[in-house]
Amino acid sequence: MNTTDLLERAKELNCLYKVDEILQQIDKDIALAMAQILDAIPDGWRFSDLCEAEIILGDQIFTRPGFHKTELKQSTLIKSYGEIIGEIRVYYIKPIKLEKGIFIPEEMQLLNSIADKIAMFVTLQKLKPTNIEETTGPGDAEYIELLQHDYPGLLEWVKAMGLKKSEAAELLRNPLHFRKGETIGKQGAFTSYFILLAKGSTKSYIEGPANKSYSFMLTLPFEFIGMSSLFGNHYYFSTVALIPSTVFLVEKEKVIKLMVDNPKFNKSMAKWLCDNYKILFHKMSCLSLKQTIGRMAEVILYLSNDVFKSDVIPHYISRKDLAELSGMSNENAVRILSDFKNEQILRDIPEGLQILNKSLLQTISITG
From the list 229, 242, 151, the residue with the least C-alpha distance to 194 is 229
Mean pLDDT of the chain: 89
Judge contact between 223 and 202, C-beta under 8 A: no
For 100-114, 207-221, 250-264, which range has the lowest pLDDT when averaged over its residues?
207-221
Mean pLDDT of 278-291: 88
Q: What does the pLDDT look like over 160-195, one tens digit per residue?
A: 999 998 899 888 887 888 888 888 888 887 777 889
Per-residue confidence (pLDDT) for residue 1, from 0 to 100: 63
Residues 6+ away with beta carbon under 8 Å from 334:
319, 323
Give the 3-state secondary structure of residue 321: helix
pLDDT tier, 224 (very low <50, low <70, confident <90, very high otherwise): very high
Spatial separation of the C-alpha atoms in residues 287 and 270, rounded to whole Å: 26
Per-residue confidence (pLDDT) for residue 69, from 0 to 100: 93
Residue ranges matching CATH 3.30.450.40 in the chain: 3-126
Spatial separation of the C-alpha atoms in residues 58 and 78, rounded to whole Å: 10
Per-residue confidence (pLDDT) for residue 133, from 0 to 100: 40
For a pLDDT cut of 90, what percent of the chain falls above it?
57
Judge contact between 222 and 153, C-beta under 8 A: yes
Spatial separation of the C-alpha atoms in residues 261 and 265, rounded to whole Å: 9
CATH topology of domain 290-367: Arc Repressor Mutant, subunit A (1.10.10)
Per-residue confidence (pLDDT) for residue 304, from 0 to 100: 95
Residue ranges matching CATH 2.60.120.10 in the chain: 161-274
pLDDT tier, 134 (very low <50, low <70, confident <90, very high otherwise): very low
Q: What does the pLDDT look like over 321-343, one tens digit per residue?
A: 999 999 999 999 999 999 999 99
Q: Is the per-residue pLDDT at 243 higher than 70?
A: yes
Per-residue confidence (pLDDT) for residue 131, from 0 to 100: 43
Per-residue confidence (pLDDT) for residue 322, from 0 to 100: 95
Helix extents (H) in the chain: 3-23, 30-40, 105-126, 138-150, 154-160, 165-171, 252-261, 263-289, 292-302, 319-326, 330-342, 358-367
Mean pLDDT of 272-282: 89
For 37-51, 168-182, 235-249, 265-279, which range has the lowest pLDDT when averaged over its residues?
168-182
pLDDT tier, 81 (very low <50, low <70, confident <90, very high otherwise): low
3-state helix, strand and coil shares in percent for the chain, rounded to the nearest 5: 50, 20, 30
Judge contact between 75 and 90, C-beta under 8 A: yes
CATH of 3-126, one of 2.60.120.10, 3.30.450.40, 1.20.1600.10, 3.30.310.50: 3.30.450.40
Judge contact between 79 and 72, C-beta under 8 A: no
Per-residue confidence (pLDDT) for residue 127, from 0 to 100: 58
How is domain 161-274 classified at the architecture level of CATH?
Sandwich (2.60)
